[in-house]
Amino acid sequence: MNIAIFVSGNGSNLQALMEAAAEDTLGGGKIVLVVSDKSEAFALERAKKAGLRTFVSETDPSLPREENDKAILSRLKEDKVDLVVLAGFMRILSDLFVDEYKGRILNIHPSLLPSFKGVHGIKDAFDQGVKATGVTVHFVERELDSGPIILQSPVFIEEDDTLETLEEKIHKEEHKIYPEAVRLFVCGKLKAAGNKVRILK
Ligand code: GRF
């Protein structure tokens, strides 16, 4: 199964996924392309270092979303991409894109959804004073940070945690569960029915 990973920034999740692929723990899934909407994303350096092909699609704000996505879609077609894995990709995908890859787009979010949606999931949970937050991997649907939940992992907030230590704990957890979620998808172990995802044994 051919996988494209979408990034915009640091790329630590991309790194975890590339390492899993190298260790052959992605169930045979192959990362064939790394897509970024930011040419300066550090994630692109990581991809190139690992010898992966990259594709940059800077957002043109004067164009509607689907026009921005068309170039990516045709590149995905060229590379015969089966699965899209969003790993810190900050551009909101158009309905056109989501419909084209329906059921084949995964995202990771740094909170226990549906709590703390949006771009500041870690800080919002920290500021709210919750005792537990965590990480969610879910299928992507048209509505942001929604879609059937595949895996979640809790992260506890201790009294001596700072925003920085919490971020570290969250990222560590992400790097564990994202490769596992991708492996489950690649192995055909995920069965979505409505809101619920069953994980087959
Ligand atoms: C992660 O916290 C992920 O949950 C969120 O964006 C961040 C990306 O981090 N969607 P990185 O670029 O993978 O280091």
Q: Which atom of ligand 1 lies closest to the CA of 86?
A: 10
pLDDT of residue 93: 96
Minimal-distance CA residue to ligand 1 atom 7: 88
Task: Read off the pLDDT band of 136 (50, 70, 90).
Answer: very high
121: Cβ below 6 Å to ligand 1? no
pLDDT of residue 50: 98
- Residue 79 CA to residue 117 CA, distance in Å, equals 32
pLDDT of residue 172: 98
- Residue 128 CA to residue 6 CA, distance in Å, equals 30
Give the DSSP per-residue string, 3-61: EEEEESS--HHHHHHHHHHHTT-STT-EEEEEEES-TT-HHHHHHHHTT--EEE----T
**Mean pLDDT (whole number) for 169-180:** 98
**Mean pLDDT (whole number) for 8-22:** 98
Q: Ligand 1 centre and the CA of 105: distance in Å?
A: 16
Q: Which atom of ligand 1 lies closest to the CA of 11?
A: 12
Task: Read off the pLDDT band of 11 (50, 70, 90).
Answer: very high
User: Residue 197: helix, strand or coil by DSSP?
Assistant: strand
- Residue 171 CA to residue 16 CA, distance in Å, equals 10
Q: Ligand 1 centre and the CA of 8: distance in Å?
A: 9
Nearest Cα to Cα of residue 106 among 88, 130, 94: 88
pLDDT of residue 191: 97
10: Cβ below 6 Å to ligand 1? yes
Average per-residue pLDDT in the chain?
97
**Element spanning 126, H or E:** helix 121-128
**Mean pLDDT (whole number) for 12-26:** 97
User: Residue 74: helix, strand or coil by DSSP?
Assistant: helix
Task: Read off the pLDDT band of 63 (50, 70, 90).
Answer: very high
pLDDT of residue 19: 98
From 109, 112, 135, 174, the mutation candidate for ligand 1 (largest count of ligand atoms within 8 A of CB) is 174
Active site residues: 109
**Mean pLDDT (whole number) for 8-29:** 97
2: Cβ below 6 Å to ligand 1? no
- Listed range (17-26, 43-52, 60-69, 168-177) with the worst mean pLDDT: 60-69
Helices 163-186 and 12-22: crossing angle in degrees, nearest 10, is: 40
Q: Which atom of ligand 1 lies closest to the CA of 13?
A: 13
User: Residue 121: helix, strand or coil by DSSP?
Assistant: helix
Q: Which atom of ligand 1 lies closest to the CA of 107?
A: 10
Residues in the chain: 201
**Mean pLDDT (whole number) for 58-79:** 95
